[in-house]
């Protein structure tokens, strides 16, 4: 199975996990309760001796389990836990694996809500240092005796900064640190964080994996590379059975069962169907994004374009080394920053909306919206200019998008 291609593996996954009545899709299981003929089996599910059993849907259903297996196959990992949103997956990872007095090193270029969450961690007594992860030396210099985890995003949104992914993997392995990589913008199609030594991979399934802007979801995948026996924060209760499962076991029990950010079976099904066309969609939207990036970079009304597969991108070499394509996310600044809002209004096709990885192109002025709450100082630290515009490229025909940008810029 693992020798087959990405899409072959994905579209046949449900059947390999066990067909019900010949159905091609894992059915949408809506039961909250799961009943048993023999009480011993109910007890077995509670005690973990009956494998693959269910008792209460907050901890998962056969439908969410099928999606988790699919994500695990895509990431070529050991296992996954799904959540109601990407933020629920990130929150559960931080709160179940870090405690007061621990130290987390995070990229300073992270999703706005993740950045806000780092503030919550500080309030809870977790030390957080944010650094420029494009230089691994900055991470090495920030390591303290109580450092437990390094957190980065593959392509940061909206600035498209890329960490020194493999050097950080080696550093974390040498120092025994848990390397957590948010793979949302690249998705397992363009990059597998396990290939650079990440222990945990986070995907917001809401974006390209679901792909149609119609379902929220998130997942944490264990790559099998981290040694949980050496991790001090695994509770005695979860230091049982196969040590490779300890981390996910704790995330599932503490992060899903106790915190309750559970993915619904309905959304798990939608995400699962969306995932079948991930490769087709990302191939097209990435190709269009590259063409648009090249067009914008050559245009006199444009000041700067941020796209990993442009030679002008500071981490172009890292992107070429690790990513199969530059993704559907690009950002740019007009030469005349004051024209930013009028320019966006002149565009006919991209929808003025937040969100990423939809079939439709979505456009948003960054400083006025998603990074408004962060304030001017934080924006400056993250390299976000007042006139920065973020574009999530959809599946529209490339020539139509190019034509639309051409007409909107002609008036600039
Ligand atoms: C959207 C996003 C998230 C959060 O995902 P939700 O499903 O919206 O909660 C986390 N990280 C990155 C990089 C994202 O783009």
CA of 160 relative to ligand 1 center, distance in Å:
15
**Pairing mode, strands 218-222 and 79-83:** antiparallel
Nearest alpha-carbon partner for 279 in 353, 211, 194: 211
Tell me the pLDDT band of 378, cut-offs 50, 70 and 90.
confident
Mutate to test the pocket of ligand 1, among 89, 92, 113 (most ligand atoms within 8 A of CB): 113
CB 346: neighbour CB atoms within 10 A?
16
- Residue 20 pLDDT more than 90? no
DSSP structure class, residue 80: E
Give the whole-angstrom CA distance, residue 124 versus residue 147.
16
Q: What is the mean pLDDT of residues 194-205?
A: 98
Q: What is the mean pLDDT of residues 43-64?
A: 91
The tokens describing 85, both together, are 């949103």
Instruction: Give the pLDDT of residue 211.
Output: 96
Instruction: For residue 153, give the ligand 1 atom closest to its CA.
Output: 13
Tell me the pLDDT band of 1, cut-offs 50, 70 and 90.
very low
Q: What is the mean pLDDT of residues 272-298?
A: 98
Instruction: For residue 89, give the ligand 1 atom closest to its CA.
Output: 9
Tens-place pLDDT, residues 215-254: 999 999 999 999 999 999 999 999 989 999 999 999 999 9
Instruction: Give the pLDDT of residue 315.
Output: 98
Nearest alpha-carbon partner for 319 in 309, 307, 306: 309
- Residue 279 pLDDT more than 80? yes
Instruction: Give the pLDDT of residue 363.
Output: 98
Length of the chain: 412
The Cα-based distances of 135 to 142, 315, 398 in angstroms read: 12, 10, 35
Q: What is the mean pLDDT of residues 24-43?
A: 93
What does the longest C-alpha to C-alpha distance in the chain come to? 74
CA of 331 relative to ligand 1 center, distance in Å:
17
CA of 403 relative to ligand 1 center, distance in Å:
30
Q: What is the mean pLDDT of the chain?
A: 95
Local structure of 304: helix, strand or coil: strand
CA of 206 relative to ligand 1 center, distance in Å:
7
Protein residue whose Cα sits closest to atom 6 of ligand 1 = 86
Task: Give the start-to-end residue ranges of the domains of the chain.
Answer: 6-30+61-275, 278-410
Q: What is the mean pLDDT of residues 62-68?
A: 96
Tens-place pLDDT, residues 140-190: 999 999 999 999 999 999 999 999 999 999 999 999 999 999 999 999 999
Give the whole-angstrom CA distance, residue 395 versus residue 377.
35
The tokens describing 199, both together, are 């222990």
Asked if 57 and 262 count as a contact pair (C-beta separation under 8 A), the reply is yes
Which residues, judged by CB distance below 6 Å to any ligand atom, belong to the binding site of ligand 1?
A: 85-87, 111, 114, 153, 157, 182, 184-185, 204, 206-207, 216, 218, 356
Tell me the pLDDT band of 52, cut-offs 50, 70 and 90.
confident
Instruction: Give the pLDDT of residue 379.
Output: 87
Q: What is the mean pLDDT of residues 108-130?
A: 95
CB within 8 Å of 69: residues ≥ 6 apart: 13, 17, 80
CATH of 6-30+61-275, picked from 3.40.190.10, 3.30.530.20, 3.40.640.10, 3.90.25.10, is: 3.40.640.10
Q: Beta-strand (E) ranges in 94-241?
A: 103-107, 127-131, 147-153, 178-182, 200-204, 218-222
CA of 47 relative to ligand 1 center, distance in Å:
34
CA of 111 relative to ligand 1 center, distance in Å:
7
Tens-place pLDDT, residues 345-366: 999 999 999 999 999 999 999 9
> How many degrees, rounded to 5, is the angle at CA 335 between CA 333 and CA 381?
45
Nearest alpha-carbon partner for 207 in 354, 384, 9: 354
Instruction: Give the pLDDT of residue 7.
Output: 94
Mutate to test the pocket of ligand 1, among 84, 85, 87 (most ligand atoms within 8 A of CB): 87
- Residue 412 pLDDT more than 80? no
Instruction: Give the pLDDT of residue 177.
Output: 98
CA of 29 relative to ligand 1 center, distance in Å:
26
Mutate to test the pocket of ligand 1, among 184, 213, 217, 331 (most ligand atoms within 8 A of CB): 184
Tell me the pLDDT band of 15, cut-offs 50, 70 and 90.
confident
Asked if 356 and 362 count as a contact pair (C-beta separation under 8 A), the reply is yes
Instruction: Give the pLDDT of residue 334.
Output: 93
Tens-place pLDDT, residues 288-345: 999 999 999 999 999 999 999 999 999 999 999 999 999 999 999 999 989 999 999 9
DSSP letters for 338-368? GGHHHHHHH-SSSEE---SS-SS-EEEETTT
Instruction: For residue 110, give the ligand 1 atom closest to its CA.
Output: 13
Q: What is the mean pLDDT of residues 84-99?
A: 98
Instruction: For residue 88, give the ligand 1 atom closest to its CA.
Output: 9
CA of 336 relative to ligand 1 center, distance in Å:
30
Instruction: Give the pLDDT of residue 368.
Output: 92
Instruction: For residue 217, give the ligand 1 atom closest to its CA.
Output: 7
CA of 123 relative to ligand 1 center, distance in Å:
22
Give phi and psi for 94, each to the nearest 5: -65, -50
Q: What is the mean pLDDT of residues 58-86?
A: 97
Asked if 179 and 168 count as a contact pair (C-beta separation under 8 A), the reply is yes
Q: What is the mean pLDDT of residues 268-273?
A: 98
CATH code for the structural domain at 278-410: 3.90.1150.10
Give the whole-angstrom CA distance, residue 154 versus residue 192.
10
- Residue 373 pLDDT more than 90? no
Local structure of 131: helix, strand or coil: strand
Instruction: For residue 87, give the ligand 1 atom closest to its CA.
Output: 9
Nearest alpha-carbon partner for 208 in 362, 384, 24, 61: 362
Asked whether the CA dihedral 166, 167, 171, 177 is positive or negative, the reply is negative
- Residue 86 pLDDT more than 90? yes
Kindly report the pTM of this predicted structure: 0.96
- Residue 19 pLDDT more than 90? no
């Amino acid at each position: 199975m693992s020798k087959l291609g990405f899409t072959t593996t994905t579209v046949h996954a449900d059947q390999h996990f066990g067909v019900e009545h010949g159905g091609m899709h894992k059915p949408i299981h809506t039961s909250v309760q799961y009943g048993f003929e023999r009480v011993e089996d109910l007890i077995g599910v509670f005690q973990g001796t009956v494998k693959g059993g269910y008792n209460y849907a907050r901890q998962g259903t056969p439908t969410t389990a099928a999606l988790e297996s699919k994500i695990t196959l895509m990431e070529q990992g050991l296992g996954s836990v799904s959540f109601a949103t990407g933020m629920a997956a990130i929150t559960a990872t931080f709160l179940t694996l870090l405690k007061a007095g621990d130290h987390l090193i995070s990229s300073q270029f992270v999703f706005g809500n993740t950045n806000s969450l780092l503030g919550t961690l500080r309030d809870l007594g977790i030390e957080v240092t944010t650094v420029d992860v494009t230089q691994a030396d900055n991470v090495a210099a920030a390591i303290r005796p109580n450092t437990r985890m390094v957190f980065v995003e593959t392509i940061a949104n909206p600035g498209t900064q890329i960490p020194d992914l493999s050097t950080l993997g080696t550093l974390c392995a040498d120092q025994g640190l848990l390397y957590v990589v948010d793979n949302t913008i690249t998705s397992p199609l363009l990059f597998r964080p396990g290939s650079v030594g990440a222990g945990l991979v986070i995907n917001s399934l809401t974006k390209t994996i679901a792909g149609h802007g119609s379902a929220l979801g998130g997942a944490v995948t264990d790559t099998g590379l981290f040694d949980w026996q050496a991790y001090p924060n695994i509770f005695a209760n979860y230091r049982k059975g196969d040590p490779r499962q300890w981390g996910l076991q704790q995330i599932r029990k503490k992060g899903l069962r106790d915190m309750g950010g559970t993915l619904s079976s309905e959304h798990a099904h939608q995400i699962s169907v969306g995932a079948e066309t991930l490769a087709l969609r990302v191939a097209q939207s990435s190709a269009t994004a590259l063409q648009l990036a090249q067009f914008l970079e050559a245009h006199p009304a444009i000041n700067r374009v941020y796209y990993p597969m442009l030679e002008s991108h500071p981490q172009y070499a890292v992107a070429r080394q690790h990513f199969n394509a530059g993704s559907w996310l690009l950002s740019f600044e007009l030469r005349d920053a004051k024209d930013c809002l009028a320019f966006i209004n002149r565009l006919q096709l991209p929808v003025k909306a937040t969100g990423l990885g939809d079939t439709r192109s979505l456009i948003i002025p960054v400083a006025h919206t998603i990074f408004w709450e962060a304030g001017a100082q934080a924006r400056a630290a993250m390299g976000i200019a007042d006139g920065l515009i973020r574009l999530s490229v959809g599946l529209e025909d490339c020539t139509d998008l190019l034509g639309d940008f051409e007409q909107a810029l002609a008036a600039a």
